Amino acid sequence: MSNSVTVSQGNTFACTFTWTPGATGPADLLTTTITSTVEDKCGTQYPLTVVKALDGLSFTVSYPGDTAEWPLGLANWDIKFVFPGSTVSRSEIFRVNVIDSVTV
C-alpha cells in the first residue's frame, strides 16, 4: 500500500480500501470503529466520512465536500481502527500532497 496520495485542490477526495483478514485479527470490520481525518499544513482538521461495505471486507473514506479550501502543500491523513473488546487500536498514516490544478 502506498503511504502517499496526491489530490488536486478543488476535487473530491475518496478512497476505497479492502480488508484482508489475518491470522490474529478480526474476520471482518463490521464491529470495528473506523474514523479518519485529514490535517492540512496549517493544522486545520477535516473529518472524513467512513462507510463500511455490508460484508465488512472493505470501506470507503471520503470528504463530504470538495477540497477547494485545502491549502496547497503536504497534509497528514490517518485512518484509526478500534477493534471490539480491545483497548488496542491501530492507525494507518498517509501524506497527502494537495496540488494546484493546471488545466482550467
User: pLDDT tens-digit profile of 8-62?
Assistant: 998 889 999 999 988 887 899 999 999 999 999 999 999 999 999 999 999 999 9
> What are the tens digits of pLDDT across the range 49-75?
999 999 999 999 999 988 999 999 999
Residue 54 belongs to a domain = yes
CATH number at residue 66: 2.60.40.10
Chain centroid to Cα 1, Å, comes to 13
DSSP output for 25-85: S-S-STT-EEEEEEE-TTS-EEE-EEEE-TTSSEEEEE-SS-STTSPSEEEEEEEEEE-TT
Find the domain containing 63 and state its range. Answer: 4-97
> Looking at the 3D structure of the chain, how many domains does it have?
1
